[in-house]
Amino acid sequence: MNIELYQVDAFASKPFEGNPAAVCPLETWLDDGVLQAIATENNLSETAFFVPTESGYQLRWFTPAVEVDLCGHATLAAAWVIFNMLGDSAELLQFETRSGQLLVQRDGDELAMDFPAKVVEPFTMEAEVKAALGINEIEELLISDDIVVVVNDAQLIESLTPDMQQLKRLPGRGIVVTAKGRDVDVVSRWFGPKVGVEEDPVTGSAHTSLAPYWAKRLGKQQLTARQGGARKGALSCEIEGDRVIIKGRVAPYLKGLITLPPQ
């Protein structure tokens, strides 16, 4: 049994930037254990699987360790594969996911994803967060599904070397450290060792929390953002009511076949 596999770089204008994701189109769902095994074998932060439905596609995402509720860059990657490799001529794609319906549409040479905005709340474990990140000052500490650490120096984010074992002991899916940017509105890095991803170069889902926070703080509805450490990617965000429109480009990298034993 063969399954097509595409690996693309999301939130990237060319290969070797942004966040790599694997995308596997399926006709019907395989057993969850097989999906997880493929994602583990791929060893990328996310592998996206989708199956056609009457109204669009059912979409799921797996890290090398677990299935997750929401993934931005792998949604962008899946949409790019559907548009550009599978030849879907629609202007708008509808995905049914564990986070509800997600929409992706063409926007020039970018793709625009329509995600639900998330509300952040105050979080109190400042000493533990500082120790895990190896930093001395935090401007603001918040939580949604991720811990959000706001610092006042964008350069500090570049030099972060977190203790992954300490991060695993903190609540939430992962931890994102963010600051006001210089040449862009927002910069950040995201760490998720608890879900099998030590660092994710560009995390679209994290910006469903970051974008509303920074939009309110900066007094603007449209934001430019950059995420990553050694490897970086670019995206833009726009607040529309209780939704966040996240835009980015995708660069193709490889196409192959996964060979599976008979099911």
Separation CA 32–CA 22 (nearest Å) = 17
- Residues for the chain: how many in total? 263
Separation CA 123–CA 125 (nearest Å) = 6
Strands 57-62 and 92-97: parallel
The 8-class DSSP code of residue 31 comes to P
Separation CA 7–CA 256 (nearest Å) = 9
Q: Mapping DSSP to helix (H, G, I), strand (E, B) and coil, where does residue 189 land?
A: strand
How many Cβ atoms sit within 10 Å of the Cβ of residue 102? 22
Do the beta carbons of residue 46 and residue 62 sit within 8 Å? Answer: yes
Do the beta carbons of residue 19 and residue 249 sit within 8 Å? Answer: no
DSSP string, 225-261: EEEESSSEEEEEEEEETTEEEEEE-EEEEEEEEEE--
Backbone angles phi, psi at 213, to 5 degrees: -60, -50
Do the beta carbons of residue 263 and residue 21 sit within 8 Å? Answer: no
Q: Which of 4, 17, 27, 46 is catalytic?
A: 46
With 0-12 / 13-18 / 19 or more C-beta atoms within 10 angstroms meaning exposed / middle / buried, residue 237 is: buried
Structure tokens, 170: 């903190």
- Look up 27 and say whether it is catalytic: no
Q: Which residues are catalytic?
A: 46
